[in-house]
Amino acid sequence: MHTFLGVPATTIDAVSAGDIVILGARDATPYEKNKPSHARNAPQALRNASGRYASWHDHIDFDTGEAMLSARRRVVDAGDIATSPDTPVENRRKIEASVRQVLQSQATPVVLGGDDSVPIPVLAAYEAHGPIWIVQVDAHIDWRDERSGERMGWSSPMRRASEMPWVAGMVQVGARGVGSARPDDLEAAQRWGSKVVTAPRVHERGIEAALDQIPRGARTFITFDCDALEPSFMPAVAAPVPGGLSYWQAVALIDGIASRSQIVGFDIVELVPDRDVSGISAITSVRLITHAVNAIASNSARN
């Protein structure tokens, strides 16, 4: 198996306290019944794209001013969770169980999706590890109660998360353009208490517009949809929308979250490898994941 960044391969049973654990989750609830997700090959595409950095762990990363991969915590890759497009209920059970086992080992999961239905079982695994705040970075608010009769699909993860008692709050960053949300979906999100910080607001006020909504000392989970970024350099997504966040805004957001709260998990979803003609989307995603891993390690050292 090609591991992410060439880190050691492991199994979930061999995870140790303090580890940062890479997990692939190819399938959760496909948008079209029994058909493969547009993003199901993303975990391997991300591992493949990260291979160029596998021997550079001790090289300077000018994004951070430190070695590319922090030595503060062990980073391991536990491979992909065994899922299939035609077993959505079983997929969600396996993803939730795998993430829960990582958490019970006192390790931190970094999940490579998969489409945007993956965060539902990932966040469900935190039932005994809350309360948590969610920071969703996404072009869409994903607050549909159902879409075409499906309540566990890629338009609904934040709605489902809001129903989890261990989710204490939510900040949604990067919404813009037109997606599946209707006015009553936005009203429902705001009525629940979600802090919706649109992309235009970030461009106008800076990333502090989002960071100011996160309570200091909170335990935060970051769920990152690739379409949050400007599609001119993240084109390989299912629903590109102009006007997205820049790479540097995304980096500043991750750093800002780490500086004011404890990051207890991270996922990235909605990379569509078949659309990544130049490979730049996978490389950009790898850099963001690497930055998140280092932020988690640095964050833990401070807390």
* pLDDT recorded at residue 1: 66
Q: What is the pLDDT of residue 34?
A: 63
The β-bridge relationship of strands 219-225 and 167-173 is unpaired
Say if strands 219-225 and 132-137 run parallel, antiparallel, or are unpaired. parallel
* Of the candidate ranges 26-35, 69-78, 85-94, 191-200, the one whose mean pLDDT is the lowest: 26-35
Pair 219, 130: CB distance under 8 Å: yes
**In whole angstroms, how far apart are CA 59 and each of 53, 54, 67, 68, 236?**
9, 11, 5, 6, 28
User: Do 228 and 245 meet the contact criterion of CB atoms below 8 Å apart?
Assistant: yes
Mean of the per-residue pLDDT values of the chain:
95
> Which of 184, 185, 290, 173 has its CA nearest to residue 223?
173
Q: Determine if residue 284 is left, alpha or beta; phi over 0 gives left, psi from -120 to 50 gives alpha, anything else beta.
A: alpha
By the 8 A CB rule, do 128 and 135 touch? no
- Residue 142 has, within 13 A of its CA and on its CB side, a CA count of 34
Contact 234, 227 (CB under 8 A): yes
CA–centroid distance for 285 within its chain = 10
Query: What are the pLDDT digits (tens) for 218-266?
Result: 999 999 999 999 999 899 999 999 999 999 999 999 999 999 999 999 9
Cα distances (Å, whole numbers) of residue 43 to 2, 140, 268, 288: 11, 22, 9, 14
| Rounded-to-integer distance, Cα 274 and Cα 19, Å | 32
Q: What residues have CB less than 8 Å from 137, skipping those under 6 apart? A: 173, 174, 222, 223, 224, 225, 228, 245, 250, 253
In CATH terms, 4-302 corresponds, of 3.40.50.2300, 3.40.50.300, 3.30.590.10, 3.40.800.10, to: 3.40.800.10
Q: Please compute the mean of the pLDDT values over residues 5-32 and round it to a whole number.
A: 94
Higher pLDDT: 127 or 71? It is 127
The encoded tokens of residue 165 equal 């008692």
Is 50 exceeded by the pLDDT of residue 303? no
Q: Dihedrals φ, ψ of 264, to 5°?
A: -110, 5
The pairing of strands 108-113 and 262-269 is: parallel
- Residues counted in the chain: 303
Q: What is the mean pLDDT of residues 26-35?
A: 78
Does the pLDDT of residue 295 top 50, yes or no? Answer: yes
What integer is the mean pLDDT of 167-190? 96
DSSP classification of residue 268: E
170-181 tens-digit pLDDT: 999 999 999 889
Please report, for the chain, the start and end positions of each structural domain, with discontinuous segments joined by +: 4-302
pLDDT value of position 154: 86
Q: Is the model more confident about 180 or about 163?
A: 163
Among 114-118, 151-155, 163-167, 206-210, the minimum mean pLDDT is found in 151-155
Above pLDDT 70, what percent of the chain?
97
Query: What percent of the chain lies above the pLDDT cut of 90?
Result: 89
Using an 8 Å Cβ cutoff, are 123 and 36 in contact?
Answer: no
Q: Which of 116, 88, 55, 107 is nearest to 264 (CA)?
A: 107
pLDDT for residue 161 is more than 70? yes
- If pLDDT is split at 50, 70 and 90, which confidence band does 105 have? very high
